[in-house]
Homo-oligomer: A and B are copies of this chain.
Amino acid sequence: MSDLLERLRGRGWRMTAQRRVVAEVLEGDHVHLTADEVHARAVDRLPEISRATVYNTLGEMVSLGEVIEVSTDRRAKRYDPNAHRPHHHLVCARCGAIRDVHPSGNPLADLPDDERFGFTVSDVEVTYRGICPNCSATA
Protein backbone atom coordinates (compact mmCIF):
# COMPACT_ATOMS: atom_id res chain seq x y z
CA MET A 1 0.00 0.00 0.00
CA SER A 2 1.15 3.49 -0.73
CA ASP A 3 2.56 5.83 1.89
CA LEU A 4 -0.21 8.27 1.18
CA LEU A 5 -2.90 5.69 1.73
CA GLU A 6 -1.14 4.49 4.86
CA ARG A 7 -1.12 7.97 6.34
CA LEU A 8 -4.75 8.57 5.45
CA ARG A 9 -5.78 5.34 7.09
CA GLY A 10 -3.80 6.41 10.14
CA ARG A 11 -5.94 9.53 10.29
CA GLY A 12 -9.11 7.50 10.62
CA TRP A 13 -10.17 7.51 7.02
CA ARG A 14 -12.75 4.95 6.05
CA MET A 15 -11.07 3.00 3.28
CA THR A 16 -13.17 2.76 0.13
CA ALA A 17 -12.33 1.54 -3.34
CA GLN A 18 -12.74 5.10 -4.64
CA ARG A 19 -10.31 6.62 -2.19
CA ARG A 20 -7.80 3.89 -2.79
CA VAL A 21 -7.89 4.49 -6.52
CA VAL A 22 -7.52 8.26 -6.18
CA ALA A 23 -4.55 7.83 -3.86
CA GLU A 24 -2.93 5.35 -6.22
CA VAL A 25 -3.36 7.63 -9.21
CA LEU A 26 -1.46 10.35 -7.34
CA GLU A 27 1.61 8.21 -6.61
CA GLY A 28 5.01 9.39 -7.81
CA ASP A 29 7.32 12.36 -8.21
CA HIS A 30 6.60 15.27 -10.51
CA VAL A 31 2.93 14.30 -10.48
CA HIS A 32 0.72 17.34 -10.97
CA LEU A 33 -2.62 16.20 -12.30
CA THR A 34 -5.80 18.23 -12.58
CA ALA A 35 -8.94 16.92 -10.93
CA ASP A 36 -10.30 15.86 -14.31
CA GLU A 37 -7.09 14.03 -15.15
CA VAL A 38 -7.26 12.21 -11.83
CA HIS A 39 -10.85 11.33 -12.61
CA ALA A 40 -9.97 10.03 -16.09
CA ARG A 41 -7.26 7.77 -14.69
CA ALA A 42 -9.43 6.65 -11.81
CA VAL A 43 -12.18 5.66 -14.24
CA ASP A 44 -9.74 3.31 -15.97
CA ARG A 45 -9.55 1.31 -12.77
CA LEU A 46 -12.98 1.90 -11.34
CA PRO A 47 -15.39 2.82 -14.12
CA GLU A 48 -18.25 3.90 -11.88
CA ILE A 49 -16.34 6.47 -9.84
CA SER A 50 -17.99 9.88 -10.02
CA ARG A 51 -16.51 13.29 -10.58
CA ALA A 52 -17.95 14.52 -7.29
CA THR A 53 -16.12 11.82 -5.38
CA VAL A 54 -12.81 12.69 -6.99
CA TYR A 55 -13.32 16.35 -6.09
CA ASN A 56 -14.35 15.43 -2.55
CA THR A 57 -11.44 13.08 -2.05
CA LEU A 58 -8.84 15.49 -3.39
CA GLY A 59 -10.30 18.24 -1.23
CA GLU A 60 -10.07 16.07 1.87
CA MET A 61 -6.48 15.13 1.11
CA VAL A 62 -5.65 18.81 0.81
CA SER A 63 -7.39 19.66 4.11
CA LEU A 64 -5.43 16.93 5.83
CA GLY A 65 -2.22 18.39 4.45
CA GLU A 66 -1.37 15.20 2.57
CA VAL A 67 -1.65 16.76 -0.89
CA ILE A 68 -0.87 20.29 -2.10
CA GLU A 69 -2.92 22.35 -4.51
CA VAL A 70 -0.86 24.06 -7.19
CA SER A 71 -2.19 26.83 -9.44
CA THR A 72 0.44 27.32 -12.09
CA ASP A 73 -1.74 28.80 -14.77
CA ARG A 74 -5.17 30.19 -15.50
CA ARG A 75 -6.64 26.74 -15.79
CA ALA A 76 -7.55 23.98 -13.41
CA LYS A 77 -5.86 23.46 -10.07
CA ARG A 78 -3.32 20.66 -9.95
CA TYR A 79 -2.70 18.21 -7.14
CA ASP A 80 0.79 17.42 -5.89
CA PRO A 81 1.17 14.41 -3.57
CA ASN A 82 4.58 15.40 -2.17
CA ALA A 83 3.18 17.52 0.63
CA HIS A 84 5.80 16.31 3.07
CA ARG A 85 8.81 17.24 0.94
CA PRO A 86 9.05 21.03 0.81
CA HIS A 87 9.57 22.14 -2.75
CA HIS A 88 8.60 24.71 -5.35
CA HIS A 89 7.69 24.50 -9.02
CA LEU A 90 9.22 25.19 -12.39
CA VAL A 91 6.69 25.62 -15.18
CA CYS A 92 7.14 25.73 -18.94
CA ALA A 93 5.45 28.83 -20.25
CA ARG A 94 4.76 27.17 -23.56
CA CYS A 95 3.61 23.60 -22.90
CA GLY A 96 2.78 23.81 -19.20
CA ALA A 97 5.13 21.03 -18.10
CA ILE A 98 5.84 21.15 -14.37
CA ARG A 99 8.88 20.00 -12.39
CA ASP A 100 9.43 20.01 -8.66
CA VAL A 101 12.47 22.08 -7.70
CA HIS A 102 14.40 22.80 -4.52
CA PRO A 103 15.93 26.28 -4.46
CA SER A 104 18.71 27.07 -2.04
CA GLY A 105 17.96 29.66 0.61
CA ASN A 106 14.73 30.40 2.40
CA PRO A 107 12.47 32.90 0.66
CA LEU A 108 10.51 33.39 3.88
CA ALA A 109 13.58 34.93 5.48
CA ASP A 110 13.89 37.32 2.54
CA LEU A 111 10.78 39.27 3.46
CA PRO A 112 11.83 42.14 5.74
CA ASP A 113 9.64 43.11 8.68
CA ASP A 114 8.79 46.46 7.16
CA GLU A 115 7.39 44.64 4.13
CA ARG A 116 5.05 42.45 6.16
CA PHE A 117 2.37 45.07 6.84
CA GLY A 118 1.56 43.45 10.18
CA PHE A 119 0.77 40.08 8.59
CA THR A 120 1.73 36.87 10.36
CA VAL A 121 3.51 35.24 7.44
CA SER A 122 3.52 31.47 7.58
CA ASP A 123 4.12 30.16 4.10
CA VAL A 124 5.63 30.97 0.75
CA GLU A 125 5.03 29.55 -2.69
CA VAL A 126 7.55 30.07 -5.48
CA THR A 127 6.85 29.45 -9.15
CA TYR A 128 9.69 29.67 -11.64
CA ARG A 129 8.75 30.13 -15.28
CA GLY A 130 10.71 29.44 -18.40
CA ILE A 131 10.90 27.27 -21.50
CA CYS A 132 11.52 23.55 -21.19
CA PRO A 133 14.21 21.83 -23.28
CA ASN A 134 11.60 20.13 -25.41
CA CYS A 135 9.85 23.38 -26.34
CA SER A 136 13.06 25.29 -27.00
CA ALA A 137 14.17 22.50 -29.34
CA THR A 138 10.97 22.69 -31.37
CA ALA A 139 10.86 26.50 -31.42
The interface of chain A, by Cβ under 8 A from chain B, is 69, 71, 73-74, 77, 90, 92-93, 99, 101-105, 107-108, 110-112, 115-133, 136
Contact = CB atoms under 8 A, between A and B. Distances in A.
A77 B77 contact: no
B118 A129 contact: no
Copies in the complex: 2
Given A105-B110, A112-B104, A126-B107, A90 B132 contact: no
A137 B111 CA distance: 22
A107 B127 CA distance: 10
Nearest to A131: B120
Contacts of A129: 121-125
Contacts of A120: 130-131, 136
A136 B119 CA distance: 8
Contacts of A121: 90, 128-130
Nearest to A122: B130
